[in-house]
Chains A and B, each alone.
Chain A
Amino acid sequence: KNEVEQSPQNLTAQEGEFITINCSYSVGISALHWLQQHPGGGIVSLFMLSSGKKKHGRLIATINIQEKHSSLHITASHPRDSAVYICAVRSYRDDKIIFGKGTRLHILP
């Protein structure tokens, strides 16, 4: 079992829909990152969280440390949000960074 699990693996939705991507992890963490990667593109950091909730534009990230779970929400989704979203955690025990397999999101116009 992977230490960082994301769901769903793939998601297709209509423009305007509310999107939720989930990340569960099994290790103690110092921080959790949400990353975005467009096809053929580089990786952009969306959020770094260690507790609570953060919001940036139409994106919201939450984390529940006790339940070892984080969610990334996209409100009013748009075709330009189509990308792979990756959850990564920094392990508290050895400081290594562990990645989820990513969620491939496709927003249809």
Chain B
Amino acid sequence: KAGVTQTPRYLIKTRGQQVTLSCSPISGHRSVSWYQQTPGQGLQFLFEYFSETQRNKGNFPGRFSGRQFSNSRSEMNVSTLELGDSALYLCASSLIGQQADSWIYNSPLHFGNGTRLTVT
């Protein structure tokens, strides 16, 4: 089974530009979550999608957005890039189920290798 694939692996952008990152989950996984990793802040949760709907969102400005397609692939977009957005962006997929009003977490998080974004 193929793992989680993130593209591109590296990106260099200029302040003020926007960027789109892509994540293809493991086949059958409908949950995709995104994270930012920096030396100073460590790993931080950005948002999570399930069946094309955003389930929750971390404490990031509105410049950070995402979406999920019907095939579970997900993209995240950062507009008006700032120097502080330089980071490793990771996505993870997992199996999540629903039972009545509860969410069932059936599997660990499977991470992609990340996209390293440098903003100059």
Contact = CB atoms under 8 A, between A and B. Distances in A.
B109 A33 contact: yes
Given A30-B103, A95-B103, A96-B56, A45 B42 contact: no
Contact of A47 (B90, B108, B112, B114): B108
A88 interface: yes
A27 interface: no
Interface in A24-68: 30-31, 33, 35, 42-45, 47-48, 50
Contact of A43 (B45, B48, B111): B111
A98 interface: yes
B110 interface: yes
A100 B35 CA distance: 13
Interface residues of B, number: 22
A99 B41 CA distance: 10
A33 B114 contact: no
A97 B110 contact: no
Given A95-B55, A97-B33, A48 B43 contact: no
A90 B104 CA distance: 12
A101 B37 CA distance: 11
B43 A88 contact: yes
Interface of B: 33, 35, 42-45, 48, 55-56, 58, 90, 92, 103, 105, 107-114
Top 3 A-B pairs, shortest CB-CB distance: A45-B108, A99-B43, A48-B108
